[in-house]
């Protein structure tokens, strides 16, 4: 059965590079009936200033 999973990481969550998240994150994953999963989330455009409102993209 296909599933939708909402994922939330709080401020201070340890990132893959060992740093801590300054703002937290939220994304979702879709899993089909065969178990294949794709994740999607929002991120700022590459090179955008940290914590500044900018246009982003969905990955």
Q: Is the backbone of residue 22 left (phi > 0), alpha (psi -120 to 50) or beta?
A: alpha
Domain residue extents for the chain:
3-58
Reported as a single tens digit per residue, the pLDDT across 10-35 is 989 998 899 998 878 888 999 999 99
- What is the pLDDT confidence band of residue 48, given thresholds at 50, 70 and 90? low
- Closest residue by Cα to residue 19 from 55, 49, 50: 50
Indicate if the alpha-carbon torsion angle 5, 30, 53, 23 is positive or negative: positive
What's the predicted TM-score (pTM) here? 0.60
| Over residues 48-55, mean pLDDT | 60
């Amino acid at each position: 059965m296909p599933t939708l999973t909402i994922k939330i990481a709080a401020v201070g969550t340890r990132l893959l590079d060992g740093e801590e998240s300054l703002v937290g994150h939220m994304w979702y994953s879709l899993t089909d009936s065969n178990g294949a999963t794709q994740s999607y989330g929002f991120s700022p455009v590459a090179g955008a200033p940290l914590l500044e409102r900018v246009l982003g993209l969905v990955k």
